[in-house]
Chain A
């Protein structure tokens, strides 16, 4: 069984208001060296699928069809054997 770790972030060209707010919060906590924060989403998707190639194609479809809005967001993912709970 496989699991996918999927990260979704706003495209670099899209203003990330959450990231900006967190950035200024970090500055007010004196993390002065911080020069950028981008906020995003993380999904863990576990599957009974065993075939790496099949699952990779499925995860890409999930991202394209629902998990990601391609107009403003971009994604990346890694796939591994399911970790023990």
Chain B
């Protein structure tokens, strides 16, 4: 599977994504600098975590004007697989590829810890390797991961099965006590309507190697390998 990792000034999970994809998919993986005006031939585009443009204005707000983003939007609109992780999720929201917006975490804190997320649907290229309701252990690390959308958007996300992950406990229980940041409806990851674009706050690339304590992130990459190759 050919993957491309977009690199903005301030991206800091690009190497993690690169190494992880190289390891899990066998490559090739290509870094794509944000000034590039064309994507290489690729099966998957990854927008990694970090603080693109120092989070100036709003997280992800400036990155979406980078030349490469025009290509990413075209790639996504043509049905290409795109995953945005953490800051990458924020970039996808600002770029309008996903619905909603991010607010500061409800408890004001930057939260860096392992959480559990429940797989809400397996009919997507990102989740075919999971079982319905499967709980994954994946870390989060963000200050602005408090997902927001209005009631109308929330009901359309539900109706179209666009909510892929919800924050849960280890047994898959989803309630206010398992919500780390105040996100609407415990949302940790959503899909676009065509289900070829995923944004998620947890970092699967940090949970794809036994040395790091969890390999649950691999389910996402393995789903993609099955569907895209």
Contact = CB atoms under 8 A, between A and B. Distances in A.
Contacts of B108: 17-18, 20-21
A33 interface: no
A71 interface: yes
Contact of B103 (A14, A21, A66, A67): A14
A17 B105 contact: yes
B106 A72 contact: no
A69 interface: yes
A72 B148 contact: yes
Interface size class of A (residues with CB under 8 A): 10 to 19
Given A72-B101, A72-B148, A17 B61 contact: no
A66 B57 contact: yes
B80 to A, nearest CB: 25
A39 B127 CA distance: 39
Interface of B: 57-58, 61, 65, 94, 100-101, 103-108, 146, 148-150, 182
Query: What 6 pairs between A and B have smallest CB-CB spacing?
Result: A71-B101, A17-B104, A72-B101, A17-B108, A69-B101, A21-B108
15 contacts: A10-B103, A14-B103, A15-B103, A15-B182, A17-B146, A66-B57, A66-B65, A67-B57, A69-B58, A69-B61, A71-B101, A71-B149, A71-B150, A72-B101, A72-B148
